[in-house]
Structure 1
Amino acid sequence: MGRPLQDAILTGLYDQSYPGHELLGPKLLKNNKNDKIWLTLRQELLTCKSFTWAVAFVTQDMLVPFKVVMADLANKNVSGTLITGDYLGFNDPKVFHELKKIPNLTVKIAQDNGFHAKGYLFKHAGYDTIVIGSANFTRAALLSNYEWSLKVSSKENAALTEQIGKQLSDLKHNSIRLTDAWLRDYESNWVRPVQNKVVKKNISQEIIPNQMQKAALKELNALVAAGQKRGLVVSATGTGKTYLGAFAVKDFKPKKFLYVVHREQIAKKSLESFYKVIGGSRTNYGLLTGHNHDFNHKYLFATVQTISQPDMLATLSKDEFDYILIDEAHRAAAPSYQRILNYFKPKFWLGMTATPERMDDQDVYKIFDYNLAYEIRLRDALEDKMLAPFHYVGVQDYETNGQSIDETTNLRYLVSDERVNYVLKELDYYGYCGEKPRGLVFCSRQEEAHELAQAFTNRNHPAIALTNKDNEKKRSEVVKQLEQGKIEYIVTVDLFNEGVDIPSLNQIVMLRNTQSSIVFIQQLGRGLRKYPGKDYVTVIDFIGNYKNNYLIPIALNQDTSRDQDKARKESTLPSFIGVSTINFSKIASEKILASLDQVKLDGLRQLRKSYQDLKEKIGRPPLLFDFYHYGSTSPEVFANNHSLAHYGKFLIKMGEPLHLSKYEDGVLSFVTKELLNGKRPHELILLKLLLKNKHVSETEFEKALKNYGAYVNGAVLNSVEDILSLNFFDIKQGKTTKKAQYGGQPLIEPINLLDYQLNPELSKALETNADFKKLFIDVINTGLALNKKYNNQKQFTLYQQYDRKDVCRLLNWPKDVSAPMYGYRVDKDETPIFITYKKDSTKKRSALYHNTLENGRSLRWYTRTPRHLSSNEVQRLLNTPDMKIHLFVKKSDAIGKQFFYLGQAVIQKDTVKEELLGPKKKAAVGMNLLLKHPLDMQMYELLFDE
C-alpha cells in the first residue's frame, strides 16, 4: 500500500502529475446531481474493516439507507462506533431509539461541552481514511445541502492519522455508552428546538398556482384557444391536480360546469377545493350523488354512478354544461363513463389522471383526442418537492434451508410464525417517521391478507385485512382506525392501488411479487402525500425468488428505456430521486440481477408493447425521435436488435404500409446501425447539411462542426469520408461485406477535393420516396438528440460505453478491424485496451489473464500470448513517445459488447514483467496501467466492487 498511497497523497497535495487515484487521494466532497457525500461514506463503509464517527447531529431521515449498509456489514462481521451527543437538543430522542436497533453499531454520548464535531474515520487494511468538514449525518447534509468535506487517506503511523486517532481515543474515553437509562432521562427533558423560519405575512388568502400548475394551465389554455375540444393532464398523486382543475375552470369561466368522479367522498372534497380557488357564493356549488340532486347549481360535482343513469341523463340537456372534467380519467373507457361522454356536448372536456397506462389495454389518450396537455410523473413531483420523500429498501424475503419465497410458495409457509417474526423484525429495524407505524401491507392472496393481519395483531401490532369483498363503509371505517392510531397496519392485496388517500401513511410494505411497473408505482404512491410531521416514508420490499424481480428497479427509477445495461446499473447501485433514496441489500440486488439475466427487455414482443403504448399516447405511428422525446424505449434498443435491420422493418412488422427498395433498406440499415447511437455527431451533421444544400464545402462543414461544439481536425474529416463512403466497412463478413449490406454505394461523393454532395441514387430516393425520407431524417434527428450526452470536444466521453467497432471509428482508423482486435491493438500513437474484469469461466482463454485492480489504483494487464519483452508489438507499446493508451472496461461478458471508457492510462514501467500464464505456461507481458483520471466512486463500485 505504501507507494500507491504516497502517490495519491502527492497528486492531491503536491503535484497532479503523480499517478494518484480517486479511492486514496485527497478529495473535496460535495453534493451535486451526479454525486453525493453519502456515496463516499457508503463506499468507505462497504470496504472498511471498522469505523469510528464523531458526528454532533444525526437525523432519522438518513438512518434508513445507513441501516441497509450496516445490515450487509453485519453479515461480514464488520462493526463501528458512532459518537454523538445532546448539543442544543438537536438530536431527536427517536434517533437514539433507532440507532440502538443496529446490532453492529456502538453508540457513545460525548460529554464535552459544545460537542459539534463532524468527522468520519474508516480503518482499512494498511491505511486509514478520514472525512472531515461541514456535513453532519443528516439527509440534507449528505444528499442536498451545499456542504464541503475533505476526504484524506494516510498510513496508520502518519502524523495526521495519529492526531485524529488520539482525538478520537480521548473522545471515546470521555464519552459514555448510550443506555436505556440515559435515553429515558434525555427523553424526559428534551424540548424540540425552535426552527428559525422566516415568517411571511399572508396578505391575501387567495390560493395561487404552483410551478407545475402554471405550466399545465398555459398548455390547457393554448388547447382551448386552438379550438380543441378535449385535453388530458397526467399528474402524479399528491401533486395538486384537483386545484389545477379548479384553476383551469376559473380561467375558462363556464356558464355551467360538471365534475365527474367515481366516489362521493372525493366529489365532496373536490367541491371544497374548487370553492377555495374560485370563490363566489356557496349556493353556486352543488352535488349530484345518491343523496343529493342539486341540478341548478353552477358548479356541479357528480358521481359517475348517479349521473350515468339513463333517467338522470334524460333530465339534463346535451349542452347543459360547457366544461366537463373527468377525474381519474383512466376509468373513462368504462361503459358508465362512455354514456356520459357520448351524451353531453360541452365546449371542452378535461381528463385528469395519475396513471393513464391501463392494464386492460383501453386507449385513454384516444378518448381525449391525443391532446396530452401536461404530464408530471412521480419522479418529477419528487424532485420538485411536491410529495413526501421516500426511502426504499429492497431486502431478502424470509428463507430457510436455502428455500426462499417464490410465485408457487404454499400459503402455510407465507403465514408461518417464522416468516411473520422475520417480517416484523425487519419492519422494526427499518422503522418509520412518526410516533407509531401507520402502514399499508400489500400481499399476494386474500387468505394471506387475513391470516397476516391476525398474526400481526397477535404480536401486538394491530392490523386489519381489507379485500375487494369488503364494502365501502368498512373500508372507510378501517382507514379511519389507521389514521386515529387504533391499528398499525392495513393488510390488502390490490385494493389500495388508486383512489384512496391516507396522507399519514409512513410505511409501505411489499410482501408480494411485482407483476407490473404500473401497479408498483400506484402502490408506492399511496404513501407519498405530504402530512404534518411526515419527513419521509419507509418502503420495505421483501424480495423472493420471483421471475419479475427485474421490474423493481425499473419501476422505481421510472425507466422505460428497455436498456439492459441501464437496468443492471439500477439494480446494483443506490440511486436518488431528489432526497428520496433507493437501496438494495446485497442479497436482494443479486436476486434482481439473476431475474434480469433471465429476461429479454428488448425482445420484439416487448418492443411491440412499447410501440403500441406510445402510438396510443400520440395518436399516430411513432418514429424513433418520439421514443426519445417521450422518454420511452431507448431508440438505441431498436438499433441494437439483431433481428431488425432498421426501424422501418419494425414498422412493417407492426402492419404499417411502407415501401422501400433494396437500396433504401441498405441505407437505412447503415444510418441506423452505425450513426443513430450519436457517439460522434460529425457524419450526422454533414448529412443534415446535405439534406438542405445540394453541395457543401469542406469549409462550410468545418464551420457547422465548430458551431455545434464538435472537435475538428484533418484526421476526423478523413474518417467521416471513410464512413460515409462505406470504405470503412469494406471488410469481408462471411460471403459478403458489411459495405454490401449497407447498399454498396457511398452516401456522399466528393465533387472535387473540398466539396461534398449526396450520391445521385440517394438523392433520387429522398426526392421520390416519402417513407424513406421520413425514416432517414428521423435517424439523423434522433442521433443528434442522443449525442447530447457525449463530450464533442473529445473522441471519447468518460464513463460512456463503446464497443470495439465504435472505437475503431472514433480513433479515425480507415477500416473496421474490430473483429480480429480481441483485447487490444497497438497502432502508431494510440492503443485501445479492452478489459473484461471478471471472467465468467476459468475454461475460457481470456480467463488466463487475471486482471486485478491493484490497490484501487491501477489495473494489472497482460498482452496476448505468446509475447515477449522483445516482441515488436510490446516494444512499440512501451517505447513509442506520447503513446495514448485508452482504457475500456466491462465487469463481465454477461453485459454484452459494450465497455465503459475509463480515460487514458499510463504504463508503470517498473511493473512491466514477462510472465508464463496458464497450464501450458505461455509467455505474456504483464504491466500496471495507471488511470490518468480519478475513478468515479459509482463507476468503481459498478465495475470493480466484489
Structure 2
Amino acid sequence: MDALEQSLKKAFIDQNIEGSYYDPKLIINQPQQKEFLLNTLQEEIATCRDFFFSVAFVTQSGLDTIKAQLADLAQRHINGKLLTSTYLAFNNPEVFKSLLTIPNLEVRISQREGFHAKGYLFTQADYYSFVIGSSNLTMNALKVNYEWNIRLTSYEQGEVIEQIHDHLTSEWAQAVPLTTDWIADYAQRYQPLMKRAPQLPAVAEDKQAYIVSNKMQQVALKSLVELRASGAKKGLVISATGTGKTYLAAFDVRQAKPKHMLFIVHREQILNKAKESFMQILSDEPAENFGILSGNQKETQAKYLFATIQTISKPAYQELFAKDYFDYILIDEVHKAGAKSYLNVLAYFTPDFLLGMTATPERTDNFNIFELFDYNIAYEIRLQEALEEDLLCPFHYFGVSDYEKDDMVISETTDLQYLTNRERVDFLLDKINYYGCSHNTPKGLIFCSRKDETKALARLFNERGIPSAYLTGENSVAEREAQITRLENGDINYIFTVDVFNEGIDVPKINQIIMLRNTQSSIIFVQQLGRGLRKDNSKDFVTIIDFIGNYKNNYMIPMALSGDTSRSKDRLRKGTFDTNYISGLSAINFEAVAKKRIFKSIDDAKLDSMRELKQTYGDFKNRLNRVPYLTDFSQQAILDPLVIANKFESYYSFLAKIGDNEGTITEKQNKFLQFLSRELLPGMRQQEIVLLSKLIESDHALRKQDLAALFADCHLIHDAATIDSVLATLSLTFYTGGLKKAYAGAAMVQQQVDQIELTADFRSALQNDYFKKLVVDLLKASYYKSEQFSQTEALTRYAKYRRRDVLRLLNWSEQMVDQNIGGYVAKDGKFVIFVTLEKGTDFKGAQMAYEDELLDNATMHWFTKSPRTLESPEIAKLRDPAHWTVYLFAKKSDDEGAEFYYLGEVKSQPETIKQLEKPIRDGKTRNVVAMDLQLMAPLETELYKYLR
C-alpha cells in the first residue's frame, strides 16, 4: 500500500493501521508536554523546497520564532511567500519593517475585506504538506494559546492541494507588494484598534505608587518569617536576575520592622536605585529616614542606610556604629561576600538578622556562601522557574554563525585585525538587522572579548551612522552612568563592553543583547543574558544574538540556556537540537552552522576532567553541608552519576582520590561497586535493582518462583526469559570476554537449586557499613534513573544503549563482544541492527564505505555486511516479519561514544532489496545487499534532524 494512502486510511478509516510521516495530525499547544504548533512549523520549514503562508496577523515575536530556519533556507537559496493583511490594524508598521529584512521572503498585503486566513503550505521533496487552523503567526498562537490546527499531506495530483494552489495564486495576484513606500504610507494612517496591555503598573510622578508583591516575593516573604521564627539569624535568597530581589528585601524590611537597617552593595551607582525602591515600599516613612554612605555622601544618621562595601568596610566608618546598631543587614550580590572587605564587615557587625541575595551563589574560588548563611536557603527561583511564573521579560535567543572567510572562523585566538575588519562589521550588522529587536529601535549591550575590540567596533559602528559607545573597567562610575543614561534616552543605540556589565546593572529598557565573545562559563552567560530580562513597557521581548565561532567552550551554551549541569554530553546535545524546555513566550533557535559548531564542541569537550568534577562536587557539598552521594546528584540533577561511573571504577574511587571518603573499603569490595556502576547505574531495567535491594534488605533467600510475583508487584515485566536474564546479569554468567575478566569475583547473586540468594563474598562485604551505604546509595540512584525508561517494554524508544545493554534487555543468554556484533546480530527471532551514520573518511577501519542514511523520519536506507547476496541467511530473516522482529539503533558518529539511540522496530521494504557490488580498500569489489527499512512509527523530528 502506498505510504500516503496508508496514512489517510489510518487517520480516517482505521487507527490501527501503521502510520508514516504522511499521517494527518491534530496540533494543539500543550505546554506541559512541551508540544507546540511552533515545532511543526519549524520542522516543515527546515525540510521544505518552498513555502506559502497566508495569515492575517503577524507579530515580531511570532516572526522571530522562524527567522533562524528561514536564514538556513536562504543559505540553500530557498524562497517563500507570505500573504497577510491590515485587518483590524493588528499588524503594526514595525512588523512590516521586520518582514522586509528577510531576503528570501516575498510579502504581499491582501486587499480582501475581512482577511482572516491562517494557513501554512509547504512543498516538500515528493509531496505537499499544509497546516490549517486557528493560529496566526504570533508567539501566543504558536506556543501558548489554546488553538486547533490540522496538518495534512498530499501528492501534487491531489484535488485539495490543487484547490489551495489555485486559490493562493489568485489571491497573490490581487494583493499589493510590501515596500518601504507602502510601509511609510501605512505608518502615517496607522491607528491600532487593539492596544497592548501594559506590562508593569504605572508609577505616579511622586514615585509613591502602591506596589504589590509578586508571586515569588509572597512565597519568599512567608519563608523569611518562618525562618526567623525558627530562631535563625541568617537567610539566603537565590533569585534570577530581574525577579525583584530589591523589592523583596524592602517588603521583608517592612514586615521585620528593624530599628536600623544597613543595605550593602558593591557599586555606588546601584545605591540610589535601591534607596528609591525602598522608599516606594516604605512609603509611610519620611524621606530623611533614608540615607547613603558612600565616597560622596555620609548620611550616617539615617534609619535605613544604603552603603557601598568600599566605604562601610573601612574601620573608620564601621566604628561610627555600635556592633549591634543595625538589627537588620542586607547584602546585595552576596556571592561576592568571600572578599576580605565583606568578611571584615560581617566580623564587626552583629545584626539580629542577616539577609543575602544573589542570582548565582556558585563560586569559582571555593568560598562557601551557603556556610556563611548557616545553610539557610530562604527561597530559590532560577531562570526557568522565573520565566514560567512570568516574572521576567520573554527572550528570543538566536545562536548564529560568526564571520567566516577563506575557511577561517572566529576563535579564541583570532587576531584583533580580523575581529574588527570592515567585512566582519558588515557581516555583524546584517545579522543584527535581520534578527532585530522589539519595536526595531535597538537599545543594546554588546559583550566583547577584549578592550581594544570594544573601542574599535564602537568606532566602526559610529562610522556607519549607528550611535555607539564603549565601556571597560577603565571607565569611572560617572562615565558608566552617563553612557547608560544616553542609552536609555535613545541618544545611542549600543554600548560595547567587556568585564563591566555582567552583573550589578539595572537598565530595564535594554531590548537587545549581542554576544561577540567566547562563553567563559554558564554563570557569566546567564548573568549577561539577564541584563535584558527586566520587564519594561518599552519592549515586548529582549533579543539575544549570540555569534558562535569555533570556540572550545560552545558546549556551555546549551548548559547555560537549559540550566543542565549534569555534564552529560547526550543531554547537552538534546538541549541543542530540542529547545522545547524553554518556557512561556521565550524561544531558543540556532542556525544550522552554529548548531554544528556546538555539537563539535560537545564531542571534543572534556566534561569529566578532574578539575570540572571537583568544582561541581565542591559546590554541591558546600550547599548540602555534607558529602553528597549519587542519589543526591540524581535527585537534584546536579551531576549525572554516569559521568563519574564512566571515568572512575566507582564513586568511592572518586571520593578517595579527592580525600573525601568517609570510610574505607577493600579492592574486592570496590569491584562490586565497579560492576554496579557500569551495569546497573544506568537504570535501563528495574528488575535487577528491585531484586538486589530486596535481598540486601531481607538477607534471606528467595525462591525462584517468587521472583515473578516480586516483579509483578512492582508492575515490571516478569516472564521466565526476563527472570533468567536478570539472574544471569547478577551472577555474571551473562558477561564474556574482557568484561568477564574485569568483573571476575564480583557476582552478587547465586542460585542454589530453587533458591536465589546473595553470594557469600557479597554478604561478607556488606558487613562493612560504609560499603553497604555506598551500595544502597548506588541502587537508589539507579532506581531514580530507571524512571526515565519504560517498565512495560524491554526497550525505550529514543533512549541510548550500548550493544551489550541491548542484548541483555532482549534476554540474550550471553553477551557478545562488540566487534563480533558489528552492524547487526540475530538470534531467537530478534534481529538487532546498529548503524553509525557518519563514518568519517577512513570508515573507522571498515573495509567498505557503507552509505547508510535516513531518507526521511520513517525510512532508513541500509546496507548489510559484505560479502552478502540475496541468498544470505540474514536476507531471508529480514524478509520474514512473521518470525523475526527487527530493532533499529543509530548514532550520529563514533564521537558520541559506544551508545546508540533506539529508533524503534522496522520492517524491510521488499521492493527495495537489491544486491550491489561495492569497492573495498584494495580496489576490488564485494557483494553487499541494500534495502530500505521502514520504521513502524516515524521519528520525532528533532532527533531525526539531529541524526541527519
**TM-score, length of structure 2 as denominator length:** 0.93
| Separation in 1, partners of 2:895, 2:358 | 40
For 1:486, the aligned partner's letter is: D
**What aligned pairs does 1:778-793 form with structure 2 within 5 A after superposition?**
778-793=777-792
Report Cα offsets for 1:617-662 as digits up to 9, x if no partner.
3333322222223322211111222xx1111101111112441112
Whether 1:609 aligns to 2:608 is no
| Mapped contact 1:49–1:125 kept (Cα < 8 A) | yes
Q: Which residue of 2 aligns with 1:589?
A: 595
For 1:62, the aligned partner's letter is: G
| Separation in 2, partners of 1:392, 1:647 | 37
Q: Which residue of 2 aligns with 1:860?
A: 861
Whether 1:518 aligns to 2:523 is yes
Whether 1:230 aligns to 2:234 is yes
- Out of 205, 213, 216, which is 1:212 matched to? 216
Alignment CA distance shift 1:216-1:778 (3 Å)? farther
**1:119 Cα deviation after fit:** 0.8
| Mapped contact 1:393–1:582 kept (Cα < 8 A) | yes
Alignment CA distance shift 1:216-1:878 (3 Å)? same
Aligned-pair RMSD on alpha carbons? Answer: 2.8
| Separation in 2, partners of 1:855, 1:491 | 45
Report Cα offsets for 1:762-783 as digits up to 9, x if no partner.
233323x232122112211111
Larger deviation: 558-567 or 290-299?
290-299
Alignment CA distance shift 1:424-1:878 (3 Å)? closer
Q: Which residue of 2 aligns with 1:814?
A: 813
Q: Which residue of 2 aligns with 1:310?
A: 315
Q: Which residue of 1 aligns with 2:651?
A: 647
**1:847 Cα deviation after fit:** 4.8
**Structure 2 SS opposite 1:837:** strand
Larger deviation: 629-638 or 192-201?
192-201
- Out of 589, 601, 605, which is 1:599 matched to? 605
Report Cα offsets for 1:734-757 as digits up to 9, x if no partner.
xxxx3453351531345762x644
| Separation in 2, partners of 1:420, 1:872 | 62
- Out of 446, 455, 459, which is 2:460 matched to? 455
**What aligned pairs does 1:332-411 form with structure 2 within 5 A after superposition?**
332-411=337-416
Q: Which residue of 1 aligns with 2:205?
A: none
| Separation in 2, partners of 1:294, 1:798 | 66
**Structure 1 SS opposite 2:168:** helix
Alignment CA distance shift 1:338-1:45 (3 Å)? same
Larger deviation: 89-98 or 298-307?
298-307
**What aligned pairs does 1:869-884 form with structure 2 within 5 A after superposition?**
869-879=870-880, 881-884=882-885
Report Cα offsets for 1:504-563 as digits up to 9, x if no partner.
001111122222222222111111111104111111122233333332232222222212
| Separation in 2, partners of 1:707, 1:224 | 46
Whether 1:27 aligns to 2:25 is yes
**1:706 Cα deviation after fit:** 4.4
Q: Which residue of 2 aligns with 1:241?
A: 245
Larger deviation: 772-781 or 371-380?
371-380
**TM-score, length of structure 1 as denominator length:** 0.93
| Mapped contact 1:836–1:890 kept (Cα < 8 A) | yes
**1:226 Cα deviation after fit:** 4.2
**What aligned pairs does 1:697-736 form with structure 2 within 5 A after superposition?**
697=702, 702=708, 705-706=711-712, 708-729=714-735, 731-733=736-738
**Structure 1 SS opposite 2:901:** strand
Q: Percent identity?
A: 42
**1:217 Cα deviation after fit:** 4.0
For 1:216, the aligned partner's letter is: A
Q: Which residue of 2 aligns with 1:122?
A: 122
Q: Which residue of 2 aligns with 1:160?
A: 160
**1:502 Cα deviation after fit:** 0.6
Q: Which residue of 2 aligns with 1:803?
A: 802
Alignment CA distance shift 1:625-1:248 (3 Å)? farther
| Separation in 1, partners of 2:848, 2:45 | 30
**1:189 Cα deviation after fit:** 1.5
**1:165 Cα deviation after fit:** 0.9
Q: Which residue of 2 aligns with 1:445?
A: 450
Whether 1:72 aligns to 2:72 is yes
**What aligned pairs does 1:136-155 form with structure 2 within 5 A after superposition?**
136-155=136-155
| Separation in 2, partners of 1:226, 1:719 | 53
**1:54 Cα deviation after fit:** 0.6
**1:701 Cα deviation after fit:** 5.5
| Separation in 2, partners of 1:369, 1:671 | 36
Q: Which residue of 1 aligns with 2:172?
A: 172
**Structure 1 SS opposite 2:237:** strand
**Structure 2 SS opposite 1:727:** coil
**Structure 2 SS opposite 1:339:** helix
**What aligned pairs does 1:723-802 form with structure 2 within 5 A after superposition?**
723-729=729-735, 731-733=736-738, 738-739=739-740, 741-742=742-743, 744-750=745-751, 753=754, 756-767=756-767, 769-802=768-801
| Separation in 1, partners of 2:761, 2:415 | 66
| Mapped contact 2:509–2:538 kept (Cα < 8 A) | no
For 1:778, the aligned partner's letter is: D
For 1:813, the aligned partner's letter is: W
Report Cα offsets for 1:30-55 as digits up to 9, x if no partner.
33343322222222222222111111
**Structure 1 SS opposite 2:838:** coil
Alignment CA distance shift 1:544-1:326 (3 Å)? same
Q: Which residue of 2 aligns with 1:50?
A: 50
Report Cα offsets for 1:229-283 as digits up to 9, x if no partner.
3332211111122233334444545454332222344344334434554665337
Alignment CA distance shift 1:921-1:454 (3 Å)? closer
Larger deviation: 686-695 or 791-800?
686-695
| Mapped contact 1:134–1:148 kept (Cα < 8 A) | yes
| Separation in 1, partners of 2:823, 2:533 | 49
| Mapped contact 2:511–2:541 kept (Cα < 8 A) | yes
| Separation in 2, partners of 1:907, 1:865 | 18
| Separation in 1, partners of 2:231, 2:763 | 40
**What aligned pairs does 1:181-580 form with structure 2 within 5 A after superposition?**
181-195=181-195, 207-277=211-281, 280-282=284-286, 285-290=289-294, 298-434=303-439, 436-578=441-583, 579-580=585-586
**Structure 1 SS opposite 2:242:** coil
Alignment CA distance shift 1:62-1:310 (3 Å)? same
Report Cα offsets for 1:83-133 as digits up to 9, x if no partner.
001111111111111111111111011111111111111112332111111
| Separation in 2, partners of 1:862, 1:815 | 26
Alignment CA distance shift 1:791-1:723 (3 Å)? same
For 1:7, the aligned partner's letter is: Q
Q: Which residue of 1 aligns with 2:134?
A: 134
| Separation in 1, partners of 2:188, 2:216 | 44
**1:63 Cα deviation after fit:** 2.1
| Mapped contact 1:220–1:373 kept (Cα < 8 A) | yes
Report Cα offsets for 1:879-935 as digits up to 9, x if no partner.
363532221111222211111111212233343344444444434444332111222
| Mapped contact 1:119–1:133 kept (Cα < 8 A) | yes
Q: Which residue of 1 aligns with 2:935?
A: 931
Q: Which residue of 2 aligns with 1:632?
A: 638
For 2:638, the aligned partner's letter is: S
| Mapped contact 1:576–1:582 kept (Cα < 8 A) | no
**1:580 Cα deviation after fit:** 1.9
Alignment CA distance shift 1:340-1:708 (3 Å)? farther
For 1:679, the aligned partner's letter is: M
For 2:884, the aligned partner's letter is: M
Larger deviation: 217-226 or 883-892?
217-226
| Mapped contact 2:55–2:119 kept (Cα < 8 A) | yes
Alignment CA distance shift 1:219-1:827 (3 Å)? farther
Equivalent residues, number: 932
Alignment CA distance shift 1:412-1:265 (3 Å)? closer
| Mapped contact 2:292–2:307 kept (Cα < 8 A) | yes
| Separation in 2, partners of 1:854, 1:331 | 54
For 1:30, the aligned partner's letter is: I
**Structure 2 SS opposite 1:832:** strand
| Mapped contact 1:441–1:490 kept (Cα < 8 A) | yes
